Amino acid sequence: MSRPRILIDGDTLKLEEILQVARNEATVELSSDAATRVRASRALVDRVAAGDTPAYGINTGFGTLAEVRIDKKDLRDLQRNLILSHACGVGTPLPFTEARALLLLRCNVLAKGYSGIRMETLALALDMLNRNVVPVVPERGSVGASGDLAPLAHLALVFIGEGEAFYEGQRMPARQALDRAGLKPVILEAKEGLALVNGTQAMCAVGTLLQLRAESLADIADVAGAMTLEGLLGSHKPFIPEIHDVRAHAGQKDVAAHLRRILVGSELVESHINCSKVQDPYSLRCIPQVHGAAREGIAFSRRILEVEVNSATDNPLVFAETERIVSGGNFHGQPISLAMDVVAMALTQLSSISERRVEQLVNPALSNLPAFLAKNSGLNSGFMIAQVTSAALVAESRVLSHPASVDSIPSSAGREDHVSMGMTAALKGRQVSDFARSCLAIEILVAAQALDFRLPLKPGKGALAAYELVRSKVPHMEKDRELHRDIEAVSQLVDSGELLAAVRSATA
């Protein structure tokens, strides 16, 4: 089956399309209008390069060396040296999906026609995507202004046949990867090196995939909370529309409505309708308020990313219509840095309240269930350490939630005197999302054990669908076993989308 095609025009790329290309589930093609704009901006760069007027990055040095004039005979070397000197990233390479997203986003900004790139250079980038040549890009080394210089330089190395790339899953020298894919490196002309390394595409690549995962985890958090609520015989009343209509935060209202759908048809709620308990703990009763606030933060981040991935972030910018090449600061990653910090904090909140619900489940003084949900407790420890693991992940997530966006270390001899730390924010947000997934998987696993003790009564339709899917992969725990295997099994149901799909099908 042929893969769908996504048209790249610099203006209309959607976050979901980035994910498709990142997973190599779609091909890319440049729109004809974008090609026209690219050629027009390149023509202006060629005219300026042929003249004697200083133009930053075209016939001058870079950063603090912007006042140094470069001879015309050295302009090719200037661009090549820029790529080589800036490729000083360290650490683990970006995963394939993030590296492909990075390449796609760079193509999209070049397609806007404000970069001055040649068509043949942009065509090589698109061919690399379609033939799955994935540059090796170390994930550390960017301070987020002038954009993601080091990661983008490693990306650009492959364009000139330097550095390394993955091809058919194998890591090799870039020139060899290009050759195997039937591609040839380019010789960069005036401005092209700068056009490849200026911008926020690395933080946006990591950030976009983090964003989409965070949105999914927000839904999973509601499912986990609903399962726990049913396992603890909690009240459904805190989710009635009237409560949320009088405090009309959109996220709060959405979560309450989602919970009502998940819980509809519950047999358990009828079983304790006349119980003496007046109020549930906050971790149950305030799910809409806490999860809703997290959703609001995640929604803020989406708005920022949707603008940024279709923005011109080069310096200087090439305006062919007015024949101006102007230096500015669109490469500064502050909007993304702040957004990624907010996502990390939102996910940490979801993890934190999830861990408190796990405590409610395993503590017999709070649950009126067997201690740690173990049969023959004492001989068996049950889910005692599952709560401890969740607590450890929450503690580390809190450390990682310290905002990177308020930090700055000047660089380039003081010329770049305020930077965004956007890549730092995105990378730590990615780590927090891993922890959040694990915390929610632990809660779902423990809640399923609690629901076992409530049989034959069944939870609401959505919670029941999640419970049954978990039980198809992980049996009830009769006696102690290696819980890390169970946590991993539930984590895979979360990551694959199977769990959400089952709940959505049951509540449609």
Give the count of domains, the chain.
2
Token duo for residue 119: 């068509």
Q: Is residue 321 part of a domain?
A: no
- Residue 139 DSSP SS3: strand
146: cis peptide before it, omega within 30°? yes
- Catalytic positions, written as ranges: 56
pLDDT at 213: 98
pLDDT at 457: 97
pLDDT at 214: 98
* 9 touches 31 (CB < 8 A): yes
How many other CB atoms sit within 10 Å of the CB of residue 81?
Answer: 14
pLDDT at 416: 82
| 10-residue stretch averages of pLDDT, the chain, 508 residues long | 91 98 97 97 91 76 66 85 95 98 98 97 98 98 92 98 96 98 96 94 98 98 98 96 96 98 95 76 98 98 98 94 92 97 98 98 94 92 97 98 93 84 97 98 98 97 98 97 98 98 97
Residue type at position 214: A
Pairing status of strand 317-319 against strand 170-173: unpaired
Token pair 């407790």 is found at 377
pLDDT at 99: 98
Beta bridge partners of 134: 166
What is the 3-state composition of the chain as percent helix, strand, coil, each rounded to the nearest 5?
A: 60, 10, 30
Pairing status of strand 5-8 against strand 27-30: parallel
* Domain end marker among 172, 198, 224: 198
Verify that 189 and 307 share a domain, yes or no: no
Verify that 131 and 243 share a domain, yes or no: no
Token pair 């219509």 is found at 321
C-alpha closest to that of 79 among 115, 114, 35, 105: 115
Long-range contacts from 309-312, C-beta under 8 angstroms, 24+ separation? 309/13, 309/15, 309/18, 309/105, 309/108, 309/204, 309/208, 310/10, 310/11, 310/12, 310/13, 310/108, 310/112, 311/109, 312/10, 312/109, 312/112, 312/114, 312/115
- Residue 34 DSSP SS3: helix
Q: pTM for this one?
A: 0.95
Q: Is residue 322 part of a domain?
A: no
CA torsion sign for 369, 372, 375, 376 is negative
Token duo for residue 188: 């960069």
pLDDT at 51: 81
* Domain end marker among 165, 198, 231: 198
Q: Is residue 324 part of a domain?
A: no
Verify that 186 and 221 share a domain, yes or no: no
What is the extent of the structural domain holding 218? 207-315+329-507
The CATH number covering residue 254 comes to 1.20.200.10
C-alpha closest to that of 314 among 332, 294, 338, 292: 332
Q: Is residue 488 part of a domain?
A: yes
Verify that 37 and 164 share a domain, yes or no: yes
Note the Cα 285 to chain centre separation in Å: 29
The CATH number covering residue 98 comes to 1.10.275.10
pLDDT at 3: 87
pLDDT at 423: 97
pLDDT at 103: 98
Verify that 63 and 188 share a domain, yes or no: yes
Q: DSSP for 424-487?
A: HHHHHHHHHHHHHHHHHHHHHHHHHHHHHTTTTS---HHHHHHHHHHHHHS---SS---HHHHH
User: Nearest 5°: phi and psi at 27?
Assistant: -95, 165
How many other CB atoms sit within 10 Å of the CB of residue 10?
Answer: 24
Determine whether 495 is exposed, middle or buried from the number of CB atoms within 10 Å of its CB (0-12, 13-18, 19+): middle
C-alpha closest to that of 142 among 417, 413, 409: 409
Token duo for residue 483: 């819980």
Verify that 451 and 474 share a domain, yes or no: yes
Verify that 173 and 43 share a domain, yes or no: yes
How close are the terminal C-alpha atoms of the chain, in Å?
29
User: Nearest 5°: phi and psi at 199?
Assistant: 145, 175
